[in-house]
Chains A and B, each alone.
Chain A
């Protein structure tokens, strides 16, 4: 589903309303084609959820968007920057795009505070004092303020993931990518993370997430995508997606998970 070009696209400096543009993105791992021509556009402030079976390419696709995975064909544009760009451009994209991983990937040798404050200091030139203030604010927002001086190993999975979200937010990104953020969590901790993500969705930040939480996707997404075998098969509003699924494979997938 490709939206109409807006006039702002022709006026540089005002910023495009189309945050993410992907056209026919392909990626190979050796002979295996992991992404088979994925086309997707995400406009500013939109929340898009990608669901689908494991191994379908959801993670790989997300990782091409911030340059963690190089792609072999097609076009990716994040905000105003075309990937792959120069070293400087890739760095800038990564600072504009935040990512939350399935396995948290918090830095174990740093306190929670430093985990969150590090990137702004190194990447945005903040002083440690300023970054600490920002870290405290964000950690309070995700409800972890009282653990601020603990180490990740002392926290539960749900707490760690919330710290990871705060860490990504510390860079004040324009886009947040979530790679199955709750898949590694014990069931009782999933809700606390979804609660944070729900609150974020309402703030108007652009979010793109791969998830198995179908109910959550139905609730907060502006659009839902179905990805299987490296292809984006279906993209629609939640209502259309879940109540009137047209694709047979989507049908069978939904019947298994719902």
Chain B
């Protein structure tokens, strides 16, 4: 694999190509960027910035943040349960069921979350007569879609377990249920943690999509306040920062989790 330093060494001294790329091109770009910043941007907006609105509506924003965390956490929990179920079902010897599950997973993966969201909220009542609140629709949509990705992750985790483990479990005479619960699933779980954390991070981001249905999470609240106070820059920049911070927290947590599980394995 070529590292950055190796790549730099591969680019040899005195090459005209290297000169153009390293100096001429960035300079031209920088000049263009600065030019655009001067001409295209109306800097008077800075004067009108008023971040007190953030403080003013802090309760609403915190409520929105709480909703984001709640809905992400619980929908992922349900998604994980469903995902495990699907992954285990994918191993049954009944071919049509396997096909059905594979098709179902693919369907969920290839639909935009917002489409699934609206379908559950508007179309499902027509089909089943059950109406759901926006929050419930959001919860179900996130749970279902995440279950598809999580099912894949779980399946990959199960496949990563050395075949010898299955043989050992069989040789010990464990029935199928105990084989799964005692031997396979615990080991799969360890392997699954990193991709699981990635999916969690992705869905934490995706919760923002629920704003299109005014589900009441952070982005919904921010949009509402921004439309009410006409201060979009303050609002959206703030929630942008909130998402970044939380995302960073989540990914460093993931990193630490990965380390813990790596040492536990070796």
Contacts and interface: CB of A to CB of B under 8 A. Distances in A.
| Direct A–B touching, Cβ under 8 Å | yes
Interface of A: 86-87, 90
A238 to B, nearest CB: 37
B14 interface: yes
Q: Is the interface of B mostly helix, strand, loop or mixed?
A: loop
Contacts of A87: 12-15
Nearest to A69: B9
A86 B12 CA distance: 10
Interface of B: 12-15
Contacts of B14: 86-87
Contacts of A86: 14
A90 B13 CA distance: 11
A60 to B, nearest CB: 14
Contacts of A90: 12
- Can you list the 6 inter-chain pairs with the closest CB atoms, starting with the nearest? A87-B14, A87-B15, A86-B14, A87-B12, A90-B12, A87-B13
Contacts of B15: 87
A90 B15 CA distance: 11
A87 B15 CA distance: 7
B20 to A, nearest CB: 14
A87 B17 CA distance: 12
A87 B12 CA distance: 8
Contacts of B13: 87
Contacts of B12: 87, 90
Nearest to B9: A70
A86 B16 CA distance: 12
B94 to A, nearest CB: 39
Nearest to B16: A87
A90 B11 CA distance: 13
6 contacts: A86-B14, A87-B12, A87-B13, A87-B14, A87-B15, A90-B12
A6 to B, nearest CB: 33
A81 to B, nearest CB: 15
Nearest to B18: A87
B9 to A, nearest CB: 8
A122 to B, nearest CB: 15
A46 to B, nearest CB: 29
B22 to A, nearest CB: 15
B7 to A, nearest CB: 15
